[in-house]
Structures are given as structure tokens and as C-alpha cells.
Amino acid sequence: MRLKGKVALITGAAAGIKGEVMGFGGASAWMFAREGAKVVLCDIKEDLARRSETQLREHGYDALFIPLDVRDEEQWKRAIAQTVKTYGKLNVLVNNAGQGYMNTVEQATLDIWNHEMDVHAKGTFLGTKHAIPEMRKVGGGSIVNISSIYGLVGSQTSAAYHAAKGAIRIFTKATAIQYAKDNIRANSIHPGFCITPMTHRLQEDPDKLALYTAKVPMARWGKPEEVADGILFLASDESSYITGSELVIDGGMTAQ
């Protein structure tokens, strides 16, 4: 029960159906719940998220779905207010919502650039900004921001995605320094190639699948549960002396 008595809000948590491919948020929701947390699932995919909420409850866990577009500050205010109204507090925030476009600098449009920055950088900023006062009230908390190995290194595609995930990385460090005195920790997770709903289009193309797999020293793609293990660690008190750090979960790819 590593999160016993804690309340955790996870964005991008809709894909959490057992028997289907989960995202990092959905896998984390199950892991958090098993470890004793009350879990708030936030997403724009309402039907899928409600199915995840229902399944968690059927297994005896305390879960709540709150619709949330992370780009909208008023929705953030409502989501956090509803979390506190329902459970009395907020201890953990996982900024996981994301979307990716595979475009070079020249191929990327301004709309693509703005969308990537809004969902990732702006969404993480807004969640963090409005979670901090509630965490301060309970003597601290943990913020886990999902970046990517593409927030650490470059590639032949995804220019806007790189920029947005890089912004999350350095924003996390600024948050960690500014709120260490409040016992609020902030760390970033940097997953490599993992099997999630977002990567299905690559998984279904044999040539691309082989190309990307060849880049990974462990010669396989990660599972969402393997990333969720890292998220759980940073959310729990086991990482109480860790803040402003980067946890890379990539099968050794960026070690090359």
C-alpha cells in the first residue's frame, strides 16, 4: 500500500481497460489504486474514461472520472475543485495527457506547433499551477510530468513534439526548485518506444516497427506497466529525497 490514504489526479487516463492496450495514465491508475490511492481519471475521451472508471470500481477501487481538456484553465480549476470536494485533498498529480505528430520543422504547420505546445507544455503548466496550492495545504505532494526521450534527444521527425516534451523537462526542474521548501516534489519521466494506443500506427507497419525496434538495445518495445512502475515510485514516499530529476525508461536507447 505505497499510496495508502493519498489522492491522485492523472491526466490522459482514459485508456485503462483491462484486456485492451492501455496508456501510461490508465496503467498508472490501476497501479495507484492497488497501492491504496483514490484515483481521479481525467481525459477528453469521455466514453473510454467512463469505462475505465467503471471497471476500476467493479474491482473495488475508489475511482472518479472528471472530464478535462488540459489546455483549458477553467476546466483545470473545476477538476481540482471537484477532486478536493470529493476526497478532501490532493497529494499526487500526474501530467500525462499527450498527442504526437510526426513532422519535420518544414512540414510542421503553426497549428501543429501550437497544438503540441498547448497539450504538453501549457497543460502541464496549468495542472501544476493549480495543484500546488492544494498540495501546500496538506504539507506537500508529488508532481510527475510525463515527458519523453524526445525531450532529451532529437530525431528525424516530430519537431514540435520534441520542443513540447523538452519544455516539460525544464519546467519540471523549475517547479522542483521553486517549491522544494513546501515539500512539493516535481520529477519527469522519459519513456522510450512503448506499446500504447498512441503508437498503434507504428506497431501496425512491419517496416516501421522493425526500424524503431532496431534502435533499442533491449530489442523490444516497453509496456505501459513498466512506465507506470516508474510513475508509482516518483509518486510515492519512497522517492521522498528525489526532486527535479529525470527518470528515463527506454530500454537503453538514449545510453548509446
For the cut 90, the answer to whether the pLDDT of residue 202 exceeds it is no
Check residue 79 and give its pLDDT.
Answer: 98
Q: Choose among 124, 123, 141: nearest CA to 132.
A: 141
| Model pLDDT for residues 208-250, shown as the tens digit of each residue | 899 999 999 999 999 999 999 999 999 999 999 999 999 999 9
User: What is the pTM for the complete model shown?
Assistant: 0.97
| Model pLDDT for residues 134-186, shown as the tens digit of each residue | 999 999 999 999 999 999 999 999 999 999 999 999 999 999 999 999 999 99
For the cut 90, the answer to whether the pLDDT of residue 204 exceeds it is no
Query: Residue 134: which residues within 8 A CB-CB, separation 6 or more?
Result: 80, 84, 89, 90, 141
Q: Are 21 and 15 in contact (CB under 8 A)?
A: yes
Check residue 3 and give its pLDDT.
Answer: 98
Q: Are 16 and 56 in contact (CB under 8 A)?
A: yes
Active site residue 161: yes
Report the Cα 84 to chain-centroid distance in Å: 20
For the cut 90, the answer to whether the pLDDT of residue 203 exceeds it is no
Each domain of the chain, given as residue ranges in start order, spans 7-248
- CATH for the stretch 7-248: 3.40.50.720
For the cut 90, the answer to whether the pLDDT of residue 100 exceeds it is no
Q: Which of 61, 150, 161, 179 is catalytic?
A: 161
Helices of type H across 60-199: 73-87, 110-116, 123-137, 159-179
